[in-house]
C-alpha cells in the first residue's frame, strides 16, 4: 500500500473535470502516529467569479478568495454554519476555481462508530472526523510531508458509475449539474441523492 500524491497537472484542469476525477481517490490524514485514509465519494465544483455560488463572486480581497486564483492543489478551508469545509484549489492556467470534498468512505484507521454513524458523509462532519480546521487553509495537499493529502487509489482504474446533481445548499446555482457522486455508495450524503 504505497501512497502516491496526485500531481499538480491533475488540478490544472477545469474544476468540473477535477471534481469527477477526484471520485475514488484517497484523502489521507496523518494524526500523530495514526493514519486515516478514506475514499472520496462525493464532490462539488466551483468556478470563478462567473459562478454566483463561488466565493470568487464576492470580490476580493477577502478571506479565501485569493486562494481560488492561486496555486492549484492547495487546501481551501472555511467555516459555514459552524462547520469547516474542505476544498482543493483546481483550475486551468490563469483561471479560478475549487472542488469541495463532500463525503468519503472510511477505509483505514477509522472507528466502528465513524463507519456506522456515517460520520464521513457531509463536508462538515468529514472535517470534524479528520480534525480539519483553519490551520489547513492554504496548505498543499500534494506534498507527501504534509498531514493532509490527496493520493492515487491503491488499485488504479477501478470502475464505478458517476452520477450528477445540482449543488447542495447553494441559493443561486448554475444550470449545470456540478455535484458528483459515486452511484450506490452508502457514504454519499443522504440528502438529494439524485
Among 1, 9, 32, 81, binds DNA (CB under 7 A): 81
Answer whether the bond into residue 61 is a cis peptide, omega within 30°: yes
Contact 48, 33 (CB under 8 A): no
Nine cell digits for residue 130: 479528520
Among 22, 40, 41, 54, binds DNA (CB under 7 A): 54
Please, which residue, 14 or 83, has the CB nearer to DNA? Answer: 83
Among 22, 126, 151, 188, binds DNA (CB under 7 A): 126
Among 8, 34, 71, 134, binds DNA (CB under 7 A): 134
At its nearest, how many Å lie between DNA and the CB of residue 160? Answer: 22
Between CA 181 and CA 42, with CA 59 as vertex, the angle to 5 degrees is 5
At its nearest, how many Å lie between DNA and the CB of residue 83? Answer: 4
Does position 63 bind DNA by CB under 7 A?
A: yes
Does position 164 bind DNA by CB under 7 A?
A: no
Other C-beta atoms lying within 10 Å of the C-beta of residue 57: 15
Q: How far apart are CA 44 and CA 101, in angstroms?
A: 7
Contact 86, 101 (CB under 8 A): yes
Q: Name the one range near DNA by CB under 7 A: 1-9, 107-115, 138-146, 164-172.
A: 164-172
At its nearest, how many Å lie between DNA and the CB of residue 87? Answer: 4
Nine cell digits for residue 99: 472542488
Does position 191 bind DNA by CB under 7 A?
A: yes
Does position 185 bind DNA by CB under 7 A?
A: no
Among 31, 80, 183, 186, binds DNA (CB under 7 A): 80
Contact 138, 83 (CB under 8 A): no
Nine cell digits for residue 144: 507527501
Nine cell digits for residue 157: 482504474
Give the x-and-dash track for 7-36 against DNA (CB under 7 A): ------------------------------
Nine cell digits for residue 17: 473535470
Amino acid at each position: 500500500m504505497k501512497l502516491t500524491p496526485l500531481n499538480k497537472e491533475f488540478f490544472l484542469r477545469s474544476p468540473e473535470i477535477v471534481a469527477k476525477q477526484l471520485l475514488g481517490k484517497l484523502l489521507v490524514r496523518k494524526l500523530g502516529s495514526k493514519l486515516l485514509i478514506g475514499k472520496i465519494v462525493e464532490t462539488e465544483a466551483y468556478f470563478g467569479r462567473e459562478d454566483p455560488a463561488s466565493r470568487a463572486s464576492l470580490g476580493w480581497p477577502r478571506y479565501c478568495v485569493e486562494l481560488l486564483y492561486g496555486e492549484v492543489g492547495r487546501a481551501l478551508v472555511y467555516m459555514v454554519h459552524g462547520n469547516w469545509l474542505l476544498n482543493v484549489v483546481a483550475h486551468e492556467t490563469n483561471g479560478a476555481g475549487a472542488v469541495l470534498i463532500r463525503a468519503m468512505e472510511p477505509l483505514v484507521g477509522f472507528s466502528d462508530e465513524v463507519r456506522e454513524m456515517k460520520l464521513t458523509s457531509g463536508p462538515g462532519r468529514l472535517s470534524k472526523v479528520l480534525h480539519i480546521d483553519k490551520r489547513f487553509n492554504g496548505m498543499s495537499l500534494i506534498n507527501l510531508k504534509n498531514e493532509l493529502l490527496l493520493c492515487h487509489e491503491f488499485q488504479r482504474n477501478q470502475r464505478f458509475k458517476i452520477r450528477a446533481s445540482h449543488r447542495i445548499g447553494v441559493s443561486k446555482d448554475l444550470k449545470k449539474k456540478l455535484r458528483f457522486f459515486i452511484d450506490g455508495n452508502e457514504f454519499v450524503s443522504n440528502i438529494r441523492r439524485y
